[in-house]
Structure 1
Amino acid sequence: MTDLAPHELRILVAIDREQSFTAAAAALGMSQSAVSHSVRTCERKIGAVLFERGRHGARATPAGARAVVHARHILNLLETLVAEARGAESGTVSGPLRIAAFRSAAAHLLPTALARLTDRHPGVVPRVRIVREVGRGTAGEVADGRADLGIATLDASSPAVPGLLTGRLFEEAYALVHPAGHARPRTLPLVDWDENCGSYTRDWWARQDWIPAARLNVEDDVVTMSMVAQGLGMSIVPKLTLIDAPSGLAVTELGPQPPTRQVGYVTTPELARTVAVRALIRELRSAPLPPGLALAPV
């Protein structure tokens, strides 16, 4: 038999998460020798070395990284199989629902949707992780099996991650935010953050000769707003970031055709058919939008 058993998949995932055979054994309530034996068995079945062992712990090889991604997906589907089979007659479901979202979406979109979801399905236990929309972002979390659904910024010019299903929720415009009362806000230094500009705004950004190089670059949009409120400059941000912004700020629109971004969800084709993910998508689509946001065109 070359098939890997579920307990072997759990061991691979635990080693990748803990980056250590010893820590993985402790997390699983096993001995280190049992974990090592299981990994050798997996490597023999697969025909590839899965982890590099050394003084600094265990690191997945390229073969191991791919095996771990598949292991997470298989374990997630096995968990879903049990939950949905148990709730088949009642039409309900229970168990964890793993969600990855960037900060402003987690703060302003998810609460209402999750409240309605858990009211209809009390057995669902949402687990929300804040993931920066840099690189593969929330879509990468879904692709790697760490999340069942991600709230993501969708780039019209290229797919987030091949093989995932995406759906648009709304479109939001960017605006200029600056200290209140400043007569010429476009002359202020720029405060920017890493997530702010993807290819969906890059073309517009490149055409604006008035935007200076960033004076400050931070990793969080809340910090960006605080910097602007303290008079350290201006920033160009999506409307979702402006909700609950600190006092002392003013917002100036960026003309009749400002840059915009699409916000939506990503999931896998398999999970898109599950009760919990379908229910969450319905709640996200039907929940009232915060002020200043518009439904995405179909």
Structure 2
Amino acid sequence: MTAASAATTAGAATAGFTTAVPTDLAPHELRILVAVDSERGFSAAAKVLGLTQSAVSHSIRGTERKIGAVLFERGRKGATPTAAGATAAAHARRVLRLLDTLAAEARGAERGTVGGVLRIAAFRSVALYLLPPVLERLTARHPGIEPEVRVVRELGAGTAGEVAEGRADIGIATIGATSPVPAGLIGDVLIEEPYSLVHPAGHPDPRSLPLVDWHENCGSYTRTWWAGQEWIPKATVLTEDDGAVLSMVSRGLGMAIMPELSLNGAPDGIEITDLGPERPSRSVGYVTTPELASTLAVRALIRELRAAGKGAASEARLR
């Protein structure tokens, strides 16, 4: 036995569990696990599920015995998931989602249709400008699909994290060489967004203006490009989103360097200047789980996203 396996065995024994226990979890146990993780408490989970607190506690203890690990730290402030608990809850959400998909796809196979809820995580500019026409075409072709869009800041785990945690079926994320598709997920690039200089219209020397920026603006590749540009100052205004950046720039409060999607619907008083052939770009793509990638609704959305990406590339070449 290795030191690591010995430590694991000791930890499980300390918690009163045995190792290598066959895991035979029922869907209702998974739902209780997810509810406790989401609500961060047994009482709150019981209220959401319409159960008693003792029933929830009993179920979690049974789940911990079956898994062989402590899933929640109990305390006065509620139930905090352990590392094992967070992992188990993420898998539980994905399993429950597959059960929902099983039913929807079986009904679709019988009727020759594609239907059911399709959960999408997207960051702000994608939700505002890329998704609406895509979802319009998707639902026109497949009226039975019910899109649910959740806007998520593309920071930290971002939209890909929503997919990995089982909260979304597909995420529109910034991916590429410096932001690879996270382990355990699959995906591909849809569009390349070039960056441009955005400044008050008619300003004689826009590069001399203060920089207005926001946290989600770009990844490490673009920041490396920025670092090599001596004319780009440190941001003096840092806003919550790209819409606030555009508002600030339109009022003459500074200039910004922004990706193409964020410039849709730019207000009056703004001018957009090309940064030249060496300009940076941002790769926007989709991520999903291997098990959901083959489902009819996800495949239908990916087809529409690819078509939109090709259209955007064609427009960029014409410009």
- Displacement after TM superposition at 1:290 (Å): 5.4
Of 249-258 and 185-194, more deviation after overlay is shown by: 249-258
The answer to whether structure 1 residue 126 and structure 2 residue 144 are counterparts is no
Equivalent in 244, 250, 265 of residue 223 of structure 1: 244
The answer to whether structure 1 residue 274 and structure 2 residue 295 are counterparts is yes
Q: Contact between 1:92 and 1:275, CA under 8 Å: does it hold in 2? A: no
The DSSP-based 3-state class of the residue aligned with 1:271 is coil
- Displacement after TM superposition at 1:27 (Å): 1.0
Tell me the TM-score normalized by structure 2. Answer: 0.88
Tell me the TM-score normalized by structure 1. Answer: 0.94
The answer to whether structure 1 residue 244 and structure 2 residue 275 are counterparts is no
Structure with the higher fraction of residues in helix conformation: 2
| Residues 177-230 of structure 1: per-residue CA shift (max 9 Å, x gap) | 111121100011111100112023122111101111110112211111111112
The answer to whether structure 1 residue 186 and structure 2 residue 213 are counterparts is no
Total equivalences in the alignment: 295
Supply the distance in 2 between the matched residues of 1:293 and 1:213 (Cα, whole angstroms): 32
Q: Contact between 1:51 and 1:64, CA under 8 Å: does it hold in 2? A: yes
Map residues 1-298 of structure 1 onto 2, 5 A cutoff. 2-287=23-308, 289=311, 294=316
Q: Contact between 1:170 and 1:293, CA under 8 Å: does it hold in 2? A: no
Identity between Structure 1 and Structure 2 (%): 66
Paired AA for residue 250 in structure 2: A
Provide structure 1 residue ranges, at least 5 long, that are not aligned to the other structure.
Answer: none
Supply the distance in 2 between the matched residues of 1:225 and 1:19 (Cα, whole angstroms): 38
- Tell me: higher relative CO, structure 1 or 2? Use CA pairs within 8 A at least 6 residues apart: 1
Q: Contact between 1:108 and 1:290, CA under 8 Å: does it hold in 2? A: no
Paired AA for residue 220 in structure 1: D
Q: Contact between 1:239 and 1:292, CA under 8 Å: does it hold in 2? A: no
Paired AA for residue 85 in structure 2: G
Supply the distance in 2 between the matched residues of 1:27 and 1:289 (Cα, whole angstroms): 44
Q: Contact between 2:190 and 2:283, CA under 8 Å: does it hold in 1? A: yes
- Displacement after TM superposition at 1:169 (Å): 1.2
Supply the distance in 1 between the matched residues of 2:254 and 2:131 (Cα, whole angstroms): 30
Question: CA-atom RMSD, angstroms?
Answer: 1.7
List, as ranges, runs of 4+ consecutive aligned residues in structure 1 with deviation greater than 6 Å: none
Paired AA for residue 49 in structure 1: V
